[in-house]
Amino acid sequence: MRAFWTRFRRRPPALFGLSVLVLVLLVAVVGPTLYRQDPWDLAGRPFSPPFGQFPLGTDTLGRDLAAGVIHGARVSLLVGLVATAMALSLGTLIGAVAGYRGGWVDDALMRVTEFFQTIPSFIFAVVLVAIFQPSLRSIVVAIAMVSWPAVARLVRGEFIALRHREFVLACEALGMAERAIIFRQILPNAAGPVIVTGSLMVATAVLLESGLSFLGLGDPNLMSWGFMIGSSRSVLRQAWWMSAVPGVAILLTVLALNLVGEGLNDALNPRLRRR
Contact 148, 91 (CB under 8 A): yes
First to last CA, the chain: 18
Mark residue 65 as left, alpha or beta (left: phi above 0; alpha: psi -120 to 50; beta: remaining).
alpha
Per-residue pLDDT of 142-151, as tens digits, reads 999 999 999 9
Contact 139, 211 (CB under 8 A): no
Task: Name the residue type at position 217.
Answer: L
Q: Quick one: pLDDT at residue 44?
A: 80
Is the pLDDT confidence value at 33 over 70? yes
Among the listed residues 40, 28, 25, the one whose alpha carbon sits nearest the alpha carbon of residue 220: 40
Per-residue pLDDT of 199-251, as tens digits, reads 889 989 988 988 888 888 888 888 888 888 888 888 888 888 888 899 999 99
Q: Which domains does the chain have, with CATH numbers?
A: 1-31+232-275 (no CATH), 78-222 (1.10.3720.10)
Q: Quick one: pLDDT at residue 272?
A: 52
Mean pLDDT of 28-35: 87
Is the pLDDT confidence value at 87 over 90? yes
Contact 96, 186 (CB under 8 A): yes
Among the listed residues 88, 85, 45, 91, the one whose alpha carbon sits nearest the alpha carbon of residue 64: 45
Residue 178 pairs with which residues in a beta bridge? none
Low-confidence winner among 97-101, 140-144, 188-192 (lowest mean pLDDT): 188-192
